[in-house]
Amino acid sequence: SSELTQDPAVSVALGQTVRITCQGDSLRTYFASWYHQKPGQAPVLVLYGKNNRPSGIPDRFSGSYSGDTASLTITGAQAEDEADYYCNSRDSSGNHLWVFGGGTKLSVL
């Protein structure tokens, strides 16, 4: 199995840029995907693959990779971006298993 590690909490001033990271061995092989989740709601996919945004996701969300770490960057954070953010990827065993990171609570100040 493999694990994905995220910082528990990150804060950003309104309109500033913030990066949320996800670290794990499987990210050397597989893409990460990113979700935000607001209280009482289901998760929503915001980024996947190399740097793909689903329809309806603003272009202030972008992604990048370096070694075993994937990053989600929000450029010009808005109040509505305050949420829990989760990364996920495939398990590095190659056995059709998936894994989620522990989540990062983003506060927009």
Piece of the chain touching another protein by CB under 8 A; list 17-25, 26-34, 61-69, 71-79: 26-34
Query: Any alpha helices (H) in the chain, and if so which ranges?
Result: none
Burial 49-67 (b: 16+ CB within 10 A, else e): eeeebeeebeeebebeeee
CB 94, min distance to another protein, A: 12
CB 58, min distance to another protein, A: 17
* Non-local CB neighbours of 55 within 8 Å, separated by 6+ positions: none
- How many residues does the structure list for the chain? 109
Task: Kindly list the distances between the CA atom of residue 81 and the CA atoms of 42, 97, 107, in Å, as whole numbers in the listed order.
Answer: 15, 29, 8
Q: CB-wise, 15 or 23, nearer to another protein?
A: 23
- Binding string to another protein for residues 36 to 75, with x set by CB under 8 A, is what? -x----xxxx--xx--x-x---------------------
Q: Which residues bind another protein (CB under 8 A)?
A: 1, 30-33, 35, 37, 42-45, 48-49, 52, 54, 84, 86, 88-90, 95-103
